[in-house]
């Protein structure tokens, strides 16, 4: 070998890794034949660690800094190679760069609804989703347990398993939680803190640190949301009787029953407006009737029908559509009452049932 060849063989290598991705957790330094020259420059940047692997065995782990690779900087590898008796250049070893930065905005969410008890709705099905943050805390454990010989390991390769851990613990938490569904939004931060503390030990077994879990939303099924909307509407309308009157006037205002029904609906609506105004003024005097013709509402199959004139009511009694126990309401009544009470004279003219 000539002097020039000898000098060329002693050129110092530069070993470094700059990550231009956002999800790479471990990267194996590409080196032809894994040969590294004695005295090579190794740069380990902040948020990185360099792991030397010799014949499948993890040797030295170097923290951030600039190193000139020699026996004093890689003592375990030196001992494994018996370099204390003489160093041969080049030598073979694998170098893995481990990113120790925090990996953020990792997604988690329930695949199927979680059935839980609720103090207000008895039982509900809940769905939830959010994000979490992790970082590698033990490179050796992470390489042994998760990465193996993967030369380019990303968050997507472990995210599914970590998500399953979160969902399992979240399901257990919600099963034990007594917070009402309507109060869940006020406790998102509490749930996130509890989950972080409860799941962190499981992540630690993989060499990972779970830094934070965020609960972004816990939602109810659409059917329950619709029921809640109806409940809100009833609360706005007032008590049940007032709500039935509101529904009747709404149906009339939408055109059911023709022009005459429209006019009746407007009259009933105006009367209800006067009642509300009178209530706000703390007045106990009932509003006057808009006209002298009495109008009746009838409860048929759990639904309010009307308003009907007295002649229509008598006709319905005659053909059996309205019986003694049918509930009727007319203006001036506080509650619905049975037809036999409101229109007792009408039933005196009706023959008793056969048999």
Q: For position 56, what pLDDT does the model report?
A: 82
- 27, 151 in Cβ contact below 8 A? yes
* Domain hosting residue 7, numbered range: 3-99
Long-range pairs for 316-325: beta carbons < 8 A, 24 or more residues apart: 317/343, 317/346, 317/347, 317/350, 318/350, 322/298
Q: Based on the domain organization, do 95 and 108 belong to the same domain?
A: no
CATH classification at residue 191: 3.30.479.30
Indicate the residue among 36, 66, 99 that finishes a domain.
Answer: 99
Q: Based on the domain organization, do 146 and 254 belong to the same domain?
A: no
Q: Based on the domain organization, do 95 and 118 belong to the same domain?
A: no
Polymer length in residues for the chain? 355
For 166, the 3-state DSSP assignment is helix
Please give the Cα distance from 313 to 308 (Å, whole number): 7
Q: For position 340, what pLDDT does the model report?
A: 85
Q: Does residue 166 lie in a domain region?
A: yes
Indicate the residue among 72, 99, 126 that finishes a domain.
Answer: 99
Q: Which two tokens stand for residue 309?
A: 């004139």
Q: Which two tokens stand for residue 63?
A: 């923290």
The pTM for the full model equals 0.59
Each of the 355 residues of the chain gets a pLDDT tens digit; together they read: 444 444 444 455 788 999 888 899 999 998 766 577 778 899 999 999 999 888 888 888 999 999 888 767 777 676 666 555 455 566 778 899 999 999 999 999 998 888 888 887 788 889 999 999 999 999 999 999 999 989 999 999 999 999 999 999 999 888 888 888 888 889 999 999 999 999 999 999 999 999 999 999 998 888 877 877 777 766 655 566 666 666 666 666 665 555 445 544 555 555 555 555 555 554 444 444 444 567 889 998 888 888 888 888 888 888 888 888 899 999 888 899 998 888 887 777 656 555 5
Contact residues for 216 (Cβ-Cβ < 8 A; gap 6+): 129, 130, 131, 188
Burial class (CB in 10 A: 0-12, 13-18, 19+), 154: middle
Q: Does residue 228 lie in a domain region?
A: no
Q: For position 254, what pLDDT does the model report?
A: 64
How many domains is the chain partitioned into structurally? 3
Contact residues for 336 (Cβ-Cβ < 8 A; gap 6+): 241, 299, 327, 328, 329
Please give the Cα distance from 72 to 75 (Å, whole number): 6
Q: Based on the domain organization, do 171 and 214 belong to the same domain?
A: yes
Q: Based on the domain organization, do 89 and 120 belong to the same domain?
A: no
Q: For position 259, what pLDDT does the model report?
A: 46
Q: For position 213, what pLDDT does the model report?
A: 95
Quick one: CA torsion of 75, 81, 84, 90, rounded to 10 degrees?
-90
What's the order of all strands across the beta sheet hosting 152-154? 57-62, 48-54, 94-99, 24-28, 152-154
For 280, the 3-state DSSP assignment is helix
Q: Based on the domain organization, do 156 and 218 belong to the same domain?
A: yes
């Amino acid at each position: 070998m000539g002097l020039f060849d000898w000098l060329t063989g002693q050129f110092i290598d530069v070993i470094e890794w700059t990550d231009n991705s956002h999800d790479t957790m471990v990267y194996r330094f590409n080196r032809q034949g894994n040969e590294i020259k004695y005295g090579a420059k190794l740069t380990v940047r902040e948020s990185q660690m360099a792991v030397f692997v010799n014949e499948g065995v993890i040797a030295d782990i170097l923290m951030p800094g600039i190193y000139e690779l020699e026996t004093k900087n890689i003592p375990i590898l030196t001992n494994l190679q018996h370099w204390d008796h003489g160093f041969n250049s080049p030598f073979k070893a694998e170098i893995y760069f481990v990113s120790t930065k925090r990996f953020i905005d990792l997604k988690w969410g329930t695949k199927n609804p979680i059935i839980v008890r609720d103090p207000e709705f008895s039982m509900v099905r809940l769905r939830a989703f959010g994000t979490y943050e992790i970082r590698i805390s033990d490179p050796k454990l992470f390489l042994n347990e998760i990465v193996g010989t993967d030369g380019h390991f990303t968050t997507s390769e472990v995210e599914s398993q970590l998500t399953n851990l979160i969902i399992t613990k979240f399901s257990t938490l919600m099963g034990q939680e007594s917070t009402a569904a309507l109060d869940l939004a006020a406790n998102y931060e509490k749930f996130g803190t509890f989950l972080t503390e409860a799941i962190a030990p499981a992540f630690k077994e993989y060499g990972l640190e779970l830094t934070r879990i965020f609960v972004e939303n816990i939602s109810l099924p659409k059917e329950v949301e619709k029921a809640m909307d109806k409940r809100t509407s009833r609360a706005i309308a007032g008590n049940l009787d007032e709500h039935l009157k509101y529904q009747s006037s709404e149906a009339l205002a939408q055109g059911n029953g023709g022009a005459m029904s429209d006019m009746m609906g407007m009259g009933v609506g105006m009367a209800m407006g006067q009642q509300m105004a009178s209530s706000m003024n703390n007045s106990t005097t009932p509003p006057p009737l808009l006209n002298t013709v009495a109008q009746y509402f009838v409860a048929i199959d759990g639904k309010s029908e009307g308003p009907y004139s007295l002649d229509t009511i008598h006709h319905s009694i005659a053909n059996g559509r309205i019986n003694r126990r049918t509930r009727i309401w007319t203006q001036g009544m506080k509650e619905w009452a049975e037809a036999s009470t409101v229109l007792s004279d009408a039933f005196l003219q009706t023959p008793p049932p056969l048999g």
